[in-house]
Structure 1
Amino acid sequence: MPSRQVLILAVVTPILLYLLLHRSSPQELPARAAFRQRLVAVGDLHGDIDNAKKVLRMAKVIDESSNWAAGTDILVTTGDIVDRGAHADQIYRLMQSLRGQAEGIGGRVVSILGNHEVMNAIGDWRYVTRDDIKNFGGSPARQQALSNEGWLGQEWLANYSVTALVPLSPHPSSPSLSFTHGSLRPSFPNLQPYPSAINALGHSLLSQALTPPLAPPYPPNPYSGLPKGHSQAEAELYAEGGPLWWRGLADREEAQVCEWAKELKEKTGAKRIIGGHTPNFEKIVARCDAGVIIIDTGISSAYGGVLSALEVVYTLTPIDEHDRSQDPLLLSTAVLKGRFLEKEEIHAIYQHGKKRLVVEEREVTLE
Structure 2
Amino acid sequence: MRMLSRRGFSHTKPQPQDVYSLASNKKHATTQAALFSLLSLFSVAAFSTEPAPSSVTDGPYVFLDQGHENTAYWICQSQLKQTQIAANQLARPADCGNLPQPKRHTDAPKVEADTYTHAGKIVALSDVHGQFDVMINLLKAHKIIDANNRWAFGDGHMVMTGDMFDRGHQVNEVLWFLYTLDKEAQTAGGRLHLLMGNHEQMVFRGDLRYINERYKTSAELLNRRYDALYNKDTEIGRWLRSKNTLVKINNLLFMHGGISPEWIERKLNISDANQLFRQHLDDKKEDLKQNDLLNFLFFTNGPTWYRGYFKDALAEPDIDQILNYFKVDHIIVGHTSQDRVLGLYHNKIIAIDSSIKDGKSGELLLIDDDKLTRGLYKGEQVPL
Q: Determine if the TM-score, normalized by the shorter chain, exceeds 0.5.
A: yes
What is the CA distance between 1:230 and its match in structure 2? Answer: 6.4
Structure with higher Rg: it is 1
- Corresponding letter in the other structure for 1:115: N
Determine the C-alpha separation between the residues in 1 that align with 2:274 and 2:298: 12
- TM-score, normalization by structure 2: 0.64
What is the CA distance between 1:251 and its match in structure 2? Answer: 3.0
Matched, 1:271 2:271: no
Q: Which residue of 2 aligns with 1:346?
A: 372
Give the RMSD, CA atoms, in angstroms: 2.2
- Structure 1 pair 236–65 and aligned structure 2 pair: CA distance change class (3 A): same
Instruction: Output one character per residue of 1:21-55: Cα deviation in whole Å (capped at 9) or x when no partner.
Output: xxxxxxxxxxxxxx881100011100111111111
Unaligned runs of 5+ in 1: 1-34, 168-175, 210-223, 315-343, 358-367
- Structure 1 pair 138–189 and aligned structure 2 pair: CA distance change class (3 A): farther
- Structure 1 pair 230–97 and aligned structure 2 pair: CA distance change class (3 A): farther
- Corresponding letter in the other structure for 2:362: L
Aligned with residue 303 of structure 2, among 213, 218, 243:
243
- Corresponding letter in the other structure for 1:266: N
Pairwise mapping of residues 214-225 of structure 1 onto structure 2 (< 5 A)? 225=285
Pairwise mapping of residues 6-17 of structure 1 onto structure 2 (< 5 A)? none
Q: Which residue of 2 aligns with 1:301?
A: 358
Aligned residues of 1:179 and 1:273 also touching (Cα < 8 A): yes
- Structure 1 pair 91–43 and aligned structure 2 pair: CA distance change class (3 A): same
- Structure 1 pair 127–105 and aligned structure 2 pair: CA distance change class (3 A): same
- Structure 1 pair 190–65 and aligned structure 2 pair: CA distance change class (3 A): farther
Determine the C-alpha separation between the residues in 2 that align with 1:48 and 1:133: 18
Matched, 1:200 2:275: yes
Pairwise mapping of residues 65-214 of structure 1 onto structure 2 (< 5 A)? 65-135=148-218, 138=222, 140=224, 142-158=226-242, 160-167=243-250, 176-188=251-263, 192-206=267-281, 208-209=282-283
Instruction: Output one character per residue of 1:203-226: Cα deviation in whole Å (capped at 9) or x when no partner.
Output: 1211x43xxxxxxxxxxxxxx634
What is the CA distance between 1:69 and its match in structure 2? Answer: 0.8
Report sequence identity in percent.
23
Instruction: Output one character per residue of 1:127-166: Cα deviation in whole Å (capped at 9) or x when no partner.
Output: 01111344565460633332111122201112x2221111
What is the CA distance between 1:107 and its match in structure 2? Answer: 0.6
Which stretch of structure 1 is more off in the superposition, 35-44 or 289-298?
35-44
SS state at 2:120 partner: strand
What is the CA distance between 1:349 and its match in structure 2? Answer: 0.5
- Corresponding letter in the other structure for 1:277: H
Determine the C-alpha separation between the residues in 2 that align with 1:86 and 1:295: 22
SS state at 2:262 partner: coil
SS state at 1:187 partner: helix
Determine the C-alpha separation between the residues in 2 that align with 1:200 and 1:97: 24
Determine the C-alpha separation between the residues in 1 that align with 2:249 and 2:260: 18
Matched, 1:51 2:134: yes
What is the CA distance between 1:86 and its match in structure 2? Answer: 1.1
SS state at 2:229 partner: helix
Q: How many residues align?
A: 265
- Structure 1 pair 199–257 and aligned structure 2 pair: CA distance change class (3 A): farther
Q: Which residue of 1 aligns with 2:50?
A: none
- Structure 1 pair 147–190 and aligned structure 2 pair: CA distance change class (3 A): farther
Unaligned runs of 5+ in 2: 1-117
